[in-house]
């Protein structure tokens, strides 16, 4: 059983991947979330939105790939 976790996207990112990760988590097109984020940023005067984004960059972890920490496998042929 796999659990669903929020992470920063490594494939769908414009700046740091936070909004792409939120889109992947909720199965929503990140472009829609980005448009909503821009609208909120304009309405609140960019400062709070920029601060919130960079706090999210610090808090939300990067996506962990299980293949990143594997031991290298060697194909050794016997008799050579």
pLDDT at 9: 87
Residues 1-22 pLDDT 10s: 678 888 898 888 888 889 999 9
Q: What residue ranges do the domains of the chain occupy?
A: 17-43
Residues 31-68 pLDDT 10s: 999 999 999 999 988 889 989 999 999 998 887 765 55
∠ CA 7-71-64, nearest 5°, is 0
């Amino acid at each position: 059983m796999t659990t669903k976790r929020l992470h920063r996207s490594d494939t769908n990112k414009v700046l740091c991947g936070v909004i792409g990760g939120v889109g992947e988590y909720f199965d929503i097109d990140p472009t829609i979330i980005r448009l909503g984020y821009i609208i909120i940023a304009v309405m609140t005067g960019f400062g709070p939105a920029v601060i919130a984004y960079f706090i999210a960059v610090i808090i939300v972890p990067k996506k962990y790939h299980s293949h990143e920490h594997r031991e290298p496998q060697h194909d050794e042929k016997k008799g050579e």
